[in-house]
């Protein structure tokens, strides 16, 4: 190497080292690490809100409900402003779920019975005998005709309302239930001495029904968003051991103090049959619905 070029090489080497130190100093000045304790909110609640405010070289994590942030000074200023608006005391809410079931059943039966004829022939029309209702009887001598009309109407209403208090951003769960004994009968077939023997075993099982809901509310001003799944179970009085089940799982939003429809169902059935000089018809309707209301407690 030329002796004259050695000072130039040393100068270039020192310049490169100085440039690296300056670059490291600039990076250090731009990237800062700060630990911010949270007052009211959980870290998993605020990190999704703050994460989009950071650049690709910045990061945010949590440790013992504290935020550990590595970001530029400008990013930190913006994060503090946003955090001050969301790390506030959660609002107290009263959530009411109303489950409604309306039913209506109607039946109409009409028939003609009696006997009519002469000395050579007579026709007899038997009636049902045991049903109640209005009737008209026409009689002349030994001839008698009876007309009977029976109408029945049944209506039923069932209202179930459950309430629970919860802080916004936190979940709540409420459930009430009933347990009933259900007889169970089994026939066990075995082979004894080459013969098939049936043995009847009777036992009692308990079956449970529950009514309640799980909810997670989130607020933005006076608008509430709910993740909610109410359920209602009832014993079927017509079928021993059977349970009617109604469940809804949904996410809805609405204003505080207003009833919000979660869903509903309807069922309508009708039947009609004819007999000799008679007719029977029936109709049954059932409507179910679920609503929720959120109120702020002050």
Extents of the domains making up the chain: 3-86, 92-106+155-274+282-297, 107-151
Q: How confident is the model at residue 142 (pLDDT cuts 50, 70, 90)?
A: low
Separation of alpha carbons 32 and 75, rounded Å: 10
Query: How far, in Å, are 17, 56, 60, 70, 80 from residue 28 at the CA level?
Result: 17, 16, 17, 11, 20
Check residue 72 and give its pLDDT.
Answer: 92
Separation of alpha carbons 34 and 114, rounded Å: 99
Query: How far, in Å, are 14, 59, 223, 288 from residue 9 at the CA level?
Result: 9, 40, 70, 89
Model confidence, pTM = 0.58
The residue among 116 and 28 whose pLDDT is bigger is: 116
Six-digit token string for 139? 């009689």
pLDDT, the chain, mean: 78
Separation of alpha carbons 140 and 138, rounded Å: 7
| Mean pLDDT to the nearest integer, 255-265 | 88
Check residue 128 and give its pLDDT.
Answer: 54
Give 192-240 pLDDT, tens digit per residue. 888 888 888 888 888 888 899 999 999 888 999 999 999 888 777 667 7
| Mean pLDDT to the nearest integer, 169-197 | 85
The domain defined by 3-86 folds into Ribosomal Protein S8; Chain: A, domain 1 (3.30.1370)
């Amino acid at each position: 190497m030329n002796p004259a070029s050695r000072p130039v090489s040393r100068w270039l080497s020192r310049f490169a080292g100085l440039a690296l130190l300056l670059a490291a100093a600039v990076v250090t000045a731009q990237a800062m690490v700060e630990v911010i304790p949270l007052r009211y909110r959980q870290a998993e609640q605020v990190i999704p809100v703050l994460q989009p405010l950071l650049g690709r070289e910045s990061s945010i994590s949590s440790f013992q409900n504290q935020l550990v942030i590595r970001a530029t000074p400008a990013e930190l200023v913006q994060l503090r402003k946003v955090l001050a608006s969301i790390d506030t005391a959660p609002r107290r809410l009263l959530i009411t779920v109303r489950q409604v079931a309306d039913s209506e059943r109607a039946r109409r039966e009409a028939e003609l019975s009696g006997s009519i004829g002469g000395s050579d022939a007579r026709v007899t029309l038997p009636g049902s005998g045991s049903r109640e209702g209005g009737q008209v009887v026409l009689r002349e001598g030994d001839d008698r005709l009876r007309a009977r009309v029976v109408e029945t109407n049944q209506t039923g209403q069932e209202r179930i309302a459950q309430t629970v208090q919860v802080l916004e951003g936190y979940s709540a769960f409420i459930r009430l239930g009933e347990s009933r004994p259900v007889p169970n009968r089994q026939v066990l077939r075995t082979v004894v001495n080459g013969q098939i023997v049936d043995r009847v075993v009777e036992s009692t099982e308990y079956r449970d029904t529950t009514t309640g809901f799980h909810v997670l509310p989130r607020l933005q001003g006076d608008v509430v968003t709910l993740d909610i799944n109410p359920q209602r179970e009832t014993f079927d009085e017509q079928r021993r051991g059977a349970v009617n089940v109604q469940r809804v799982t949904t996410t809805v939003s609405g204003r505080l103090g207003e009833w919000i429809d979660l869903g509903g169902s309807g069922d309508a059935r009708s039947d009609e049959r004819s007999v000799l000089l008679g007719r029977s018809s029936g109709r049954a309707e059932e409507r179910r619905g679920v609503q929720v209301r959120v109120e702020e407690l002050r």
